[in-house]
A = this chain, B = another copy of it.
Amino acid sequence: MVKTGSSLKKGDQTRRRIIEKSAPIFNQHGYAGTSMSELMAATGLEKGGIYRHFKSKRSLAGAAFDYAWEAVKIPRHQGIESCTSSLEKLLLLVRNFVEEPVKAIPGGCPLLNTAVDSDDGDSLLRSKVSSALAQWRAKISGLVREGQRDGELRKEVDPDSVAVLLIASLEGSVMMSRLEKSREPLRTVGKHLGEYLASLAVRTD
User: B-contacting residues of A (Cβ < 8 Å)?
Assistant: 28-33, 106-108, 112-113, 115-117, 119-121, 126, 129-130, 133, 160-161, 164-165, 167-173, 175-176, 178-180, 184-185, 188-189, 191-192
Contacts and interface: CB of A to CB of B under 8 A. Distances in A.
Is chain A's interface secondary structure helix, strand, loop, or mixed overall?
helix
Nearest to A120: B28
Contact of A29 (B107, B113, B121, B133): B121
A26 to B, nearest CB: 11
A161 B178 contact: no
Contacts of A171: 171-172, 175-176
| Number of identical monomers bound together in the oligomeric complex | 2
A28 B191 CA distance: 33
A121 B173 CA distance: 19
Given A30-B30, A164-B173, A168-B173, 17 more contacts: A29-B120, A32-B32, A107-B120, A108-B120, A112-B175, A115-B178, A129-B179, A130-B179, A133-B180, A164-B189, A165-B169, A167-B172, A167-B176, A168-B175, A171-B171, A172-B173, A172-B175
A41 B165 CA distance: 41
Contact of A33 (B32, B178, B185): B32
A86 to B, nearest CB: 20
A137 to B, nearest CB: 9
B164 A185 contact: yes
Nearest to A176: B168
A59 B175 CA distance: 23
A179 B115 contact: yes
List the 4 closest A-B pairs by CB distance, nearest first.
Answer: A172-B172, A32-B33, A168-B172, A169-B169
